[in-house]
Amino acid sequence: MEKIIELKSVTKKFDGVTALRNVSFSVNKGEVVGLIGDNGAGKSTLIKTLVGVHNPDDGSIEIHGKLVANWNALKARQAGIETVFQDKALCPQQSIVWNIFMGKELSYPFGFIRQREQIEVANKLIREIGFTSKLIDAESPVGNLSGGERQGVAIARALYNEAELIVLDEPTNNLSLNETQKVFDFIYNVKKSGRSVLFIGHNIYHVYDISDRFVILDRGEVIHMLSKEKVHTADDLMKIMRETIKGH
């Protein structure tokens, strides 16, 4: 299986706290990986190390099997790893198309923006990832969208930026069931297009449905890596999680 990114024996410490201890972990092409674990287990730290926000204190990172030095957020983006931050990163007064192209506008040599083309691309992107409402198009203001749809715009932007791997830290936090389902539909469509997704989820049942593989972190260590074939139901996954937490 083709690995997009691999962390090898990564350790990350903050002052006295070891947030990640000897973590080895990878994401393969075309798979959805669900990262789970208790509060403070190191999930966000793992994701931030992967996307170049944090530097590991020890261990190495490989992209497509090649060792990278001085991994940082810019290099991660150049390698096709896009992070979807909670909707803070979007500008609600602006349209969907504005938000998708922000900082990367299509323009003519004199700097005029090719708005019609941008609208076409944006409409295509949002339909591709699963926007179905007839009331929403590329020119709708983001402020009118639901929480789930906003995540969709952020995902569409990642796709426009040619993401090979989209990383989401708790994409369904604070969303209703309905909106959560929308986000998972978007993720499913991203997977169908051959890209990979890594996300942190709190609700085991949701994580179970959407993921091909589960990684359980506990106090900074990867204690389980399970493919879906090995975990037959969401309840099984729940049981494994409970046993992990009980071990504290």
CA pair distance 124, 113, nearest whole angstrom:
18
56 binds ligand ATP per the rule CB under 6 A = no
C-alpha triplet 182, 184, 190: angle, nearest 5°: 110
CB of residue 20 to ligand ATP, shortest distance in Å: 8
- Give the Cα-Cα-Cα angle 64, 65, 70 (nearest 5 degrees): 85
Closest distance to Mg ion from the beta carbon of 237 (Å):
19
Shortest Å distance, C-beta 183 to ligand ATP: 17
Work out which of 17, 67, 106, 245 binds ligand ATP, going by CB under 6 A: 17
Nearer to ligand ATP, 149 or 169 (CB): 169
> CA 241 to CA 53: how far, in whole Å?
28
**Residue nearer to Mg ion on the CB measure, 44 or 146:** 44
Q: Please state the φ and ψ torsions of residue 102, each to the nearest 5 degrees.
A: -40, 120
b/e per residue 54-79 (b: at least 16 CB within 10 A): bebeebebbbeeeebeebeeebbbeb
> Residues 7, 10, 19, 79: which binds ligand ATP (CB under 6 A)?
19
Rg of the chain over Cα atoms, rounded to whole angstroms, equals 19
Provide the token pair at 137.
Answer: 């198009």
Write down the least CB distance from residue 50 to ligand ATP, Å: 12
42 binds, among Mg ion, ligand ATP, none (CB under 5 to 8 A by kind): ligand ATP
Which residue number, 43 or 206, has a Cβ lying nearer to Mg ion?
43
| Cβ proximity to ligand ATP, 10 vs 41, nearer residue | 41
Contact criterion met (CB below 8 Å) for 166 and 90 = no
Q: Say which entry of Mg ion, ligand ATP, none residue 41 contacts (CB below 5 to 8 A, set by partner kind).
A: ligand ATP
Phi/psi for 43 (5° steps) reads -60, -50
The one segment of 37-45, 75-83, 154-162, 188-196 that binds ligand ATP by CB under 6 A: 37-45
- Residues of this chain that interact with Mg ion (CB under 5 A) are 43-44
- Residues of this chain that interact with ligand ATP (CB under 6 A) are 14, 17, 19, 37, 39-45
